Structure 1
Amino acid sequence: MMQAMKSLSLKTLGAAALAAGLLTACGSTPPTQFYTLAAPTDAGATARSAAQGPQTFIEVMPVAVPERLARPQLVVRSDATRVDVLEQERWSSPFNNELRDALAAGVAARLGAIDVSRGGRPADQPSYRINVELRDFDAMRNGQVQASFGWTITRSDDRRSAACRLTVVERVAGSANADVVAATQKAVGQAVQAIADNVRALQAGQGGQCSA
C-alpha cells in the first residue's frame, strides 16, 4: 500500500511539474503586437475639402505588392542580405489589404471623397478608379523605409487618366518595430497626398503622365 501511495505521489508531482513547465513556457512567449497603417483622420480637413465643390467618388482597387510582403507579419531588413519575418509583430490584416485601406481612407479624407470600392456610386456621377502598385519596399530599424509606388487614375465618364510614380524615403527614428511602422505610415502618407493631387488635376481637366 505504501509503495502504491509513493508511486501515486511521484506521478502527481511529475504531472504538476509538467503543468508548471508548460505554464512557464507559455508565459515566456511575448504577446503578439498588432499595427495599422491608417493615420488618424483630420475631420476638419475632410469637411473643408468636401465643402470646396461637388461630391467626389473614388474607387481604390486592391494593391499589388511584392510577394514577400503579402502577409500579416512585419518584414524588416536585418543586414545587406537578410530579411526577418516577425511572427509576433503583425499588421491588423495582410499588408496588401492594410495598404489599400490606408490609401483609400487617406485619399478620401484629403478630397472629402466617398470610397465606392465596394459599391454605392450614383449612376449619374463620375468616379476616379485608382490602381496602385507597391513596386519596392525596404525597411530597416535604426535606418530608413524606402518605398516605390506606381499608380494610374482613370475617370469613369470620359476615360481621362494619369499614370504616375513616386519613390519616398523616411528615416526610422529608432530600433523599435513601432518606429518602422511610424516611418511606413509617413511614406504611405506621401503617396496619399500625391494621389489626391492627381485626382484634383483630373477634376480640373488635366491628365497625362506624371512622376516624382
Structure 2
Amino acid sequence: MKRLTCLALPLLLAACSSKAPLNYHTLTSAAEPAASGHAASFRFALQGVSVPPQVDQPQLVIRQGEGIALLENERWIAPLADEVRSALSADLSQDLGTLDLGDAPRGSGAPVLRVKVDLQRFDSQPGRGVQQDALWTLRLAEPGGERVLTCGSRISQPAGGSYVEVVAAHRQALSVLAKRIEPVARAFVADGDTICPAG
C-alpha cells in the first residue's frame, strides 16, 4: 500500500503541473498617453459603464458559430465593466485634455459634463474581428435645467487569431469610441443644438 502511494504521488504531481496556466488580460494600455494639444473648457465625469450580461464574466467570451464559448484559462484582470470604464476614461482624458472626475465631489468653476456608456454588444471572433455597439449619453446641468443628448455608435475592428490580438482589437475599438464622443462632447457643451454623428 505504501509503495502504491509512493508511485501515485509523482503521477498526481505531474497531472497538476500539466494544467494550462491562467492568462490574464486588460483593456488598459501600458503606453503613456500622449498629451492633448487642446484642453477642453469643461471637465467630465465618466459614470459607470454597463456591458451585456452574456459577456459579463471573469473569462473571455468568444463567438463560435452560432454559439458562444467561455475560455476558462483566459481571464480579465478586473470585471469587464471596470476594464471598459478604465480604458474609456484614459482615452477620453487624453482626447479632451482633462482628467476624469469620476465620482469625486464637484467644485465650482468649469462645467462638468457627465458621460454614461451602455455597451449593448461586445462580440469577439478570433481570426475575424470584434464588434462593439454602444449607446452613450451626455448630460450637462445648467441654470435652466439639464441638457441631455444620447447617441449610438457601432464599431468593428479586425482581429488576429490569438486572444491577445482579440483583446487589442477591443482596446482599439474603445479608442475609436472615445474619439467619436470627444468632438460631440465639445460641441454639446458649447452649443445646445448638437446632433449625433452618423454611425
Asked whether the two chains share a fold, i.e. TM above 0.5, the reply is yes
Matching residue of 2:149: 162
- Say if 2:22 and 2:73, in contact at 8 Å, map to a contact too: yes
CA distance in 2, matches of 1:153, 1:62: 13
Q: What secondary structure does 2:138 align onto?
A: strand
Greater strand proportion: 2
Count residues in correspondence. Answer: 196
Partner of 2:44: 58
Cα gap change, 1:86 to 1:65, in 2 (>3 Å): same
Where 2:38 maps in the other structure, the secondary structure is: helix
Aligned CA RMSD, in angstroms, stands at 1.9
How far apart, in 1, do the equivalents of 2:105 and 2:83 lie?
22
Alignment match, 2:38: 49
Moved more, 25-34 or 197-206: 197-206
1:75 and 1:86 in contact (8 A); partners too? yes
Cα drift, residue 202 of structure 1:
1.8
Once the 2 structures are TM-superposed, how far is the Cα of residue 123 of structure 1 from its aligned partner? 3.0
Please state if 1:191 is matched with 2:177: yes
Identity %: 29
CA-CA distance at 1:162 after TM superposition: 2.2
Contact 1:138 1:145 in 2 (8 A): yes
Gap runs ≥5 in structure 1 = 1-9
Provide the residue aligned with 2:9 in structure 1.
19
User: Does the CA-based 8 Å contact 1:78-1:140 persist in structure 2?
Assistant: yes
1:136 maps to what in 2?
Answer: 121
Q: In structure 2, which of residues 81, 86, 98 is the aligned counterpart of residue 96 of structure 1?
A: 81
| CA distance in structure 1 between the partners assigned to 2:134 and 2:69 by the alignment | 22
Larger Rg: 1
Q: CA deviation at 1:20?
A: 1.5
Partner of 2:159 in structure 1? 172
Q: How does 1:108-127 map to 2 (within 5 A)?
A: 108-127=93-112
TM-score by structure 1 length?
0.84
Aligned-pair distance for 1:97?
A: 1.3
Q: For the residues of structure 2 that align with 1:135 and 1:85, how far apart are their CA atoms?
A: 19
Note the alpha carbon deviations across 1:23-67, whole angstroms, 9 max, x for none: 212211121111111235554433x233xx54x321111112111
Q: Distance in 2 between matches of 1:197 and 1:134?
A: 20
